[in-house]
Amino acid sequence: MILVLVIAAALWGVGHLMGTPHKARWLMIGLLYVAVLAVQIALPTGHPLRVATGESPAFWLILGGFAALIWAYRQGLGRLRARVAQTEAEAAPAHQTGPFSDAELNRYARHIVLREVGGIGQKALKEARVLVVGAGGLGAPVLQYLAAAGVGTIGVIDDDIVENANLQRQVIHRDADIDVPKVFSAQAAMEAQNPFVTVRPYHRRLTAEIAGDLMADYDLVIDGTDNFDTRYLVNETAVARGIPLISGALTQWEGQLSVFDPAHGAPCYRCVFPEAPAAHLAPNCAEAGVIGPLPGVVGTMMAVEAIKLITGAGTPLRGEMVIYDALYGESRKITLKRRDACATCGHVPG
């Protein structure tokens, strides 16, 4: 039995070092379990291989039963969370429509006088529904500027709470918000800044069980997370829903952003990053560090791209990526292309 556990740990560890997705690693463990069970059933009692793997199939059958119960529980819990998220979205107040009040006209006057935005563009902002994934470093400035710009409905999903270490860069949160869920802290700040917008907070982790139903209620998604599993999930769901995705990333002094929109001929996130890099090659901010204002610079650029997409102003970063180096004050733009063999968007015409 110890031999089996060692092999399972080795499979998981090698998969982790290679950046293999969790599902693939669990599949390898499952195949190992099936092989061990087959050995226990097929080989005679006393066979060395059977002795080395536990000697009796009863233990493995019981273990498999427990695993099946846990899997069924997680599936049921995921479906329940999906229904709760859908219920919350349906129960949330509808975004305000109709003519602008005098206070709104005065508030958005600098937008309305812009030829590229005007009254039509500001009306589009008011009617827009944007989902922001993550209320941390990138999510904070995105949420602040979307609310200030008058985006009518802003959803924000994050399962984290405000910590003291966040406040060096996540400026939407305050010292008094420590230990408060980030989505509620952000909601309070956004509503205090602009009472004319509707904020929908979802204090939970984005999972495959709820992603589809959640994004169905939005026409643009912005990803400010710092892990590849969530980035790939957001990308896959956005492609399936045919909505554009604005994605950004940070490390130390450098940030990047792009608009991934296969429905309009642009690549998706997986076209550019087909596989997640090894953990040591892409450390998060807690491990590598990040200069405080950098998330504000990149997050604000992401908010600008959102406003351009909603209003039709200018040229969004479809098929292009901006890379900003704060240490040397340099920016560069690179061209991105779709991959016909992309597992996520290869079937999407564009």
pLDDT tens across 111-129, in order?
999 999 999 999 999 999 9
Burial of 162 (0-12, 13-18, 19+ CB in 10 A): buried
* Bridge pairing between strands 153-157 and 320-325: unpaired
Interhelix angle for 182-193 vs 139-149, to 10°?
Answer: 30
Q: Report all structural domains of the chain as residue ranges with CATH numbers, in order of start.
A: 2-80 (no CATH), 98-335 (3.40.50.720)
Q: What is the mean pLDDT of residues 251-270?
A: 95
pLDDT of residue 16: 65
Burial of 225 (0-12, 13-18, 19+ CB in 10 A): buried
Q: What is the mean pLDDT of residues 72-86?
A: 68
Confidence of residue 287 (pLDDT cuts 50, 70, 90): confident
Q: What is the mean pLDDT of residues 18-46?
A: 75
Round to whole Å and give the CA distance between 92 and 97.
Answer: 15
Q: What is the pTM of this model?
A: 0.72
* Bridge pairing between strands 254-260 and 320-325: antiparallel
Round to whole Å and give the CA distance between 25 and 14.
Answer: 9
pLDDT of residue 261: 95
